[in-house]
Amino acid sequence: MSTATRPAPPARPAYDVERLRRDFPILSRRVHGKPLVYLDNAATTHKPSAVLGTVRTFYEHSYANIHRGVHELSVEASEIYEKARERARAFVNAAEAREIVFVRGTTEGINLVAQTYGRANVGRGDEVLITALEHHSNIVPWQILCEEKGARLKIVPIDERGQVRIDELEKLLSEKTRILAVSHVSNALGTANPVGRIVALAHARGVPVIVDGAQAAPRIPVDVRELDCDFYTFSGHKMYAPTGIGVLYAKAKLLEAMPPYQGGGDMISSVTFEKTTYNILPFKFEAGTPNIAGAVGLAAAMDYLGAIGMDAVEAHEDDLLSYATARLSAIEGLTILGTAEHKAAVVSFTLEGVHPHDIGTVLDREGIAVRTGHHCAQPVMDFFKVPATARASFGLYNTREEVDALARGIEKVQEMFRP
C-alpha cells in the first residue's frame, strides 16, 4: 500500500508503560512482601481505573433495568447499554450493531452457536471440524452437539511448533463439514492462527467458521469483516473489562435464520400461550436481564484500548515476547513449547527435572504470578507429551524488568531443585 496518498495518522504519544501501569490500582500491591509481577494475563487481566470508575458512575447515576421502563433511569440505562453495543461493533469493525450479541464470555458465545446454529444445521453423519490447538471451551460444546446429533467431530492436527496443519485442514474440509471452529490465538501456546486464510479455505467449500477470539481481542487488532468469519466471540475479562460479559459477533443473515438460544424476557416481541413471536436482532439472543454494567465496563475497556491503540498494544507485547523468548531460551534445561512463526505474548515452558506446580509455588513466593497446569487444553499437553506446563502471558502493562524478574525467579527454582 502506498503511504504517500494516506493522511498521516493522528500523532500518538510514545508507549509509556509506566504511565499505563499507574492506571491499574492492583499493580501497586505487594504479594508475599514482593512487588506483584502479574504474568497470568491469558487467564484474566486486571482492570484500569477508567473501567472501574465508569462502572461505579453508571451504578451511581444511571442504573435501572433496560428496554422496559418509561422512566428516565431506564431510558438512560438503555441508551448507555446500546452505546456499549455500538462500541463493541466498532471495536471489531462489524457492519451493524445488531450483529453484536452480549454474552457471559467466550464459552457462552461458543455454546450459543453450537446450540442454535449447530442444532439447526448439523445432523446425523455430518462433521464438525475443530483444531488440535483448541481450549476445552471450543471442544466440549461441539462434542455435546455431535453426540446429540450423531455427527462426527474431526480434528485438524498441529505440527511440532504448535501450528495448525493447513494442508490437513484442506483435506479434512469435506462435503459433510457443517462448521469449522478455530481459535484466533492459542491460550496454551500463543500460536496466532492464519484465520483469514482458514476462513477463505472453508468458505470455498461452503463451510461457515466460528473464531474463538478470547486471546486475540486483547492483543491484536480484530476486523471481522476483513477476516470474513461468520462468528467471532471473546470475553471482557481477558481484555481489561469486568468478568461475566463478552461478545458474540455473527453475520446478521445467520443470526436471522438461527433459532433462539434461551427463552425469557426481552427476547420476545409478543407472547401468548399459543404462540410467541421472537424479538428482532440482537435481542432475540439476549433473554433475561443481561449484565448491563458489565457491558458498560466492556465499552470503557474498549475506549481505554482504543486510546492506546491496538497496534501499539500489539507492538509492545511483541517486544515483550521476543525479549522473554530470548531471555528464557538462554536458561539451561528450559524448553519453550509452541514456537510458531506467528505468536502472541504467551510463553509456555517446562523445566527439566522440575514439575510446573513447584515452579508456580516458588515463583509465587517471589511475587510472580504465572499459570501452571494444562491450561484447559489437555489435547495440546498430550501432543507435547507433558502433563502440564508453566505459562507466562503478558499484557499491555508488563515490562522487560518483569521478564527479568521471571528469569531470576526461574533460576531460584533451579537452584532449589538442583539434583
Partner 1 sequence: MSTDLRDLYQEVILDHSKRPRNFKPMPDANRSAEGYNPLCGDRETVYLKLDGDRVQDVAFQGAGCAISTASASMMTERVKGMTRKEAEELFERFRALITGAKPPVGGGPELEKLEVFSGVREYPVRIKCATLPWHTLKAALNGQGQTVSTELSEGPPAESGGA
Q: Which residues bind partner 1 (CB under 8 A)?
A: 32, 353-358, 361-362, 365, 372-374, 378, 381, 386-388, 412, 415-417, 419
| Catalytic choice (300, 376, 380, 396) | 376
323 vs 417 by CB, closer to partner 1:
417
Q: In angstroms, rounded to a whole number, what is the distance separating the alpha carbons of residues 341 and 316? A: 18
123 vs 353 by CB, closer to partner 1:
353
Least separation in angstroms between residue 378's CB and partner 1 is 8
- Region of 353 (left: φ > 0; alpha: ψ -120 to 50; beta: rest) is left
234 vs 383 by CB, closer to partner 1:
383
269 vs 361 by CB, closer to partner 1:
361
Q: Please give the grid coordinates belonging to residue 41.
A: 494475563
- The full 3-state SS of the chain, as one line of letters, equals CCCCCCCCCCCCCCCCHHHHHCCCHHHHCEECCEECEECECCCCCCCCHHHHHHHHHHHHHHCCCCCCCCCHHHHHHHHHHHHHHHHHHHHHCCCCHHHEEEECCHHHHHHHHHHHHHHHHCCCCCEEEEECCCCHHHCHHHHHHHHHHCCEEEEECECCCCCECHHHHHHHCCCCEEEEEEECECCCCCEECCHHHHHHHHHHCCCCEEEECCCCCCCCCCCHHHHCCCEEEEECHHHCCCCCCEEEEECHHHHHHCCCCCCCCCCEEEECCCCEEECCCCHHHCCCCCCHHHHHHHHHHHHHHHHHCHHHHHHHHHHHHHHHHHHHHCCCCEEEECCCCCECCEEEEEECCECHHHHHHHHHHCCEECEEECCCCHHHHHHCCCCCEEEEECCCCCCHHHHHHHHHHHHHHHHHHCC
366 vs 402 by CB, closer to partner 1:
366
Question: Pick from 392, 347, 336: which is nearest to 369 by CA?
Answer: 392
Least separation in angstroms between residue 358's CB and partner 1 is 5
Integer-rounded Cα radius of gyration of the chain: 22
Q: In angstroms, rounded to a whole number, what is the distance separating the alpha carbons of residues 282 and 328? A: 46
9 vs 419 by CB, closer to partner 1:
419
Least separation in angstroms between residue 171's CB and partner 1 is 31
Least separation in angstroms between residue 359's CB and partner 1 is 9
Least separation in angstroms between residue 355's CB and partner 1 is 4
Least separation in angstroms between residue 35's CB and partner 1 is 15
Least separation in angstroms between residue 384's CB and partner 1 is 12
315 vs 416 by CB, closer to partner 1:
416
Total residues belonging to the chain: 419
291 vs 393 by CB, closer to partner 1:
393
Is residue 172 within 8 Å of 142, Cβ to Cβ?
Answer: no
Residues 6+ apart with CB under 8 A from 29: 36
Least separation in angstroms between residue 108's CB and partner 1 is 23
Whether 229 is catalytic is no
Catalytic residues: 376
